[in-house]
Amino acid sequence: MTSGTTREACLRAYLALLAERPPARIDLADVAAHCGVSLSEMRVSFASTDDLLAAFFRDTDRHVLAAGGADSDDLSGEGPRERLFEVLMRRLDALDGHKEAVRTLMHAARTDPVLALKLARLSEASQRWMLAAAGISCTGLAGSIRAKGLALLFARVVEVWLRDEDPGLSRTMAFLDRQLETGGKLLGILDDLAYLAAPWRGRRRPVSGEAPAAEDVAVPPA
């Protein structure tokens, strides 16, 4: 295998194992055996299982960013709220094939404070990129506050997404829309003009119905 192929195989193996059991019960030898590579090959790309977890976040980031930023055809001309809505829905699309792995991480983090801290740091870093993709400032102290707040907001959305059985994700979109409406101003992500943005031209936006209640979540997912 080339180093790139080995890296991809190891990450796929890690996510497959994560769908079955918590990260505390996955070691490097498990991952190597699952994907059929030697530990020496695996060491070229990863130093620890923490590296594999971080790679999951980075790969999700890249998937979202590859679709384009605020100047892309489907986001250009939209307001901040609409752009951020679309970017976060893209992130859920990117996570769709790893739903059980995400479920395991969120469940495990509730009783593992060390894992919860790791996930919080990784999610904050990822949300800086999501803000950048939406054309929203992510620099300085204000950017740090926005990224932390958005990580928590997204975690709440993921809780709904994990329970949403509608292929169109109507419950998830409704909840995300409400979260952005109530949380956007608090985070300084949106200004008053954002609520006067042009009609929705990207992904479908919920038009009616109350958002479902979500559990309080303190652990951001991928």
Last residue of a domain, one of 27, 47, 67: 47
One domain for residues 175 and 188? yes
Q: Give the residue carrying structure tokens 């803000």.
A: 131
Computed over every residue of the chain, the mean pLDDT equals 85
Residue ranges making up the domain that contains 4: 1-47
One domain for residues 102 and 190? yes
One domain for residues 21 and 115? no
pLDDT digits (tens, 9 = 90+) for 17-75: 999 999 999 999 999 999 999 999 999 999 999 999 999 999 999 999 999 877 777 77
pLDDT digits (tens, 9 = 90+) for 97-140: 999 999 999 999 999 999 999 999 999 999 999 999 999 988 89
One domain for residues 62 and 137? yes
- CA distances to 7, 36, 39, 42, 107 from 125, rounded to whole Å, are 21, 31, 29, 25, 21
Confidence of residue 206 (pLDDT cuts 50, 70, 90): very low
Q: Give the residue carrying structure tokens 């119905």.
A: 209
10 Å Cβ neighbour count for 2? Answer: 7
